[in-house]
Structure 1
Amino acid sequence: MLETLRERVYRPELLVAPLVVFELAFFVVPLIMLVRVSLLEQTTSGAYVAGTLTLANYQEVLFSSHFQDILFFSFKFAILVTTIATVLSVFFAYAIWRADGILKNALLFIVVVTLLTTLVVRLFSILIILSPNGPLNQLLVAIKVLRQPVLLVTNLFGATVGQVYTIFPYTVLSIYSVLSILDWAKVEAARDLGATELVSFREIVLPQITSGILVGAVISFAWSFGAYAAPFLLGSTRQDTAAMEVYRLMVTRFNWPLATALSFVVLLVVLASVSLLFFVSDDNLGDAYGT
Structure 2
Amino acid sequence: MNPSNVLASRAGDAAVRPPKKMRSPTARAWLFLLPAMLFLFVLVVASLLVLRMSVGVKGEEWTAFSLESYVRLLEPYYMKSLLLTMRLALVSSVIAVALAIPVGLAMARLKSPLMRQLFLAAVLLPLLVNLLLQSYGWLVILGPAGLLNKMLLSLGLIERPVMLLYNQAGVLLGLVQTAFPLAVLPIASSVRGVSRSYEEAAATLGASRLQVLRQVVLPMSMPGIMTGATLVFAYNASSFVVPMLLGGRRVPMLAVVVHDQIAPLLNWPSASAGGVVLILSTLAVMGLSEYFTGRSRRALEVS
Per the alignment, residue 77 of structure 2 pairs with 66
Q: Do the aligned partners of 1:187 and 1:204 also contact (CA within 8 Å) in 2?
A: yes
Name which of structure 1's ranges 76-85 and 133-142 shifts more when overlaid on structure 2.
133-142
Task: Look up the equivalent residue of 2:258 and give its one-letter code.
Answer: V
Residues in 1 aligned to 2:247 and 2:236: alpha-carbon distance in whole angstroms:
13
Counterpart in the other structure of 1:29: 45
Change in 2 beyond 3 A, CA 1:103/1:141 = farther
Select which of 211, 214, 219 maps to 1:202: 214
Deviations 1:22-57 (A, max 9, x none): 321x21111111111111112xxxx44541111111
- Structure 1 CA distance for aligned equivalents of residues 27 and 125 of structure 2: 38
Larger radius of gyration: 2
Whether the 8 Å contact between 1:211 and 1:287 is mirrored in structure 2 is no
Matched, 1:258 2:270: yes
Which deviates more, 141-150 or 279-288? 279-288
Paired amino acid for 2:105: Y
Report what 2:165 is aligned to.
153
- The residue correspondences of 1:47-126 to structure 2 (distance < 5 A) are 47-61=59-73, 63-99=74-110, 101=112, 104-126=116-138
CA distance in structure 2 between the partners assigned to 1:99 and 1:125 by the alignment: 31
Q: What letter corresponds to residue 170 of structure 2 in structure 1?
A: G
TM-score normalized by structure 2?
A: 0.85
Contact 1:156 1:236 in 2 (8 A): no
Give, as a single letter, the amino acid of the residue that structure 1 aligns with 2:55: L
Shift in Å, 1:85: 0.7
Name the structure 2 match of 1:40. Answer: 56
CA contact (8 A) 1:171 1:219 kept: yes
Cα separation, 1, equivalents of 2:109 and 2:153: 35
User: What is the CA–CA distance in structure 2 between the aligned matches of 1:30 and 1:200, rounded to whole Å?
Assistant: 48
Task: Quote the Cα distance in structure 1 between the aligned partners of 2:197 and 2:138.
Answer: 40
Separation of aligned partners in 1, 2:20 and 2:130: 50
The superposition leaves residues 114-171 of structure 1 with CA deviations (integer Å, 9 ceiling, x where unpaired) of 2211111112222212223333223333444323321211111110010111110111
Equivalent residue in structure 2 for 1:127, among 111, 128, 139: 139
Q: Percent identity?
A: 28
Distance 1:8 1:49, change over 3 A: closer
Shift in CA distance, 287/142, structure 1 to aligned 2, threshold 3 Å: farther
Q: Partner letter of residue 139 of structure 1? A: M
Matched to 1:72, the amino acid is L
Question: 2 CA distance for matches of 1:99 and 1:77?
Answer: 33
Query: 1:73–1:99: structure 2 CA closer, same or farther, 3 Å change rule?
Result: same
* Shift of residue 99, structure 1, vs aligned partner: 4.1
Is contact 1:58-1:258 (8 Å) kept? yes
Counterpart CA distance in 2 for 1:49 and 1:104 is 52
Task: Count matched residues.
Answer: 282
Stretches of structure 1 lacking an aligned partner (at least 5 in a row)? none
Q: 1:228 to 1:286 in 2, by over 3 A?
A: farther
Distance 1:18 1:100, change over 3 A: closer
TM-score relative to the length of structure 1: 0.88
Aligned counterparts of 1:287 and 1:3: Cα–Cα separation in 2: 48
For structure 2, the residue ranges without an aligned partner over 5 or more in a row are 1-18
1:76-123 superposed Cα distances (whole Å, 9 cap, x missing partner): 111111111111111221122334546544432211212211111112
Residue aligning to 1:18? 35
Q: RMSD in angstroms over aligned alpha carbons?
A: 2.5
In 1, are the aligned partners of 2:108 and 2:189 still within 8 Å (CA)? no
C-alpha spacing 1:285/1:107, structure 2 compared with 1 (3 Å): same
Counterpart residue number, 2:6: none
